[in-house]
Amino acid sequence: LAGCGTINATIKDSAGRDVMLLGHDPVAYFTLGKPMRGYPTIAATHDGKTYYFLNEEHRATFLQSPAKYEPGNRLQ
């Protein structure tokens, strides 16, 4: 999973945004313990990076404390 936080683990979406984690939901790694693809319709952009989420709850959780869920950060 560590490699998913690199700039090489981004994809461009239809809007031209760089999507982190190849579109996987960053909160799911913590709450579900496994990688899960998020939905482009449930997205958030933080510090110029876009993330996709499985649901609105995960999106809200991320927006409350983005640093906790961003790749490379291990603040738990």
AA identity, residue 68: K
How far apart are alpha carbons 76 and 67 in whole angstroms? 10
> Tokens in use for 57?
């709850």
Is 20:5 a contact under the CB 8 Å cutoff?
yes
pLDDT of amino acid 1: 44
Side-chain half-sphere of 39: how many Cα atoms within 13 Å?
A: 8
pLDDT per residue as tens digits for the range 32-69: 999 999 999 999 999 889 999 999 999 999 999 999 99
CA-to-CA separations, 12 to 7, 31, 43, 51, in angstroms, rounded: 11, 26, 13, 11
pLDDT for the residue numbered 57 = 98
Q: How confident is the model at residue 9 (pLDDT cuts 50, 70, 90)?
A: confident
Q: How far is Cα 76 from Cα 27, in angstroms, rounded to an integer?
A: 12
Mean of the per-residue pLDDT values for the chain? 87
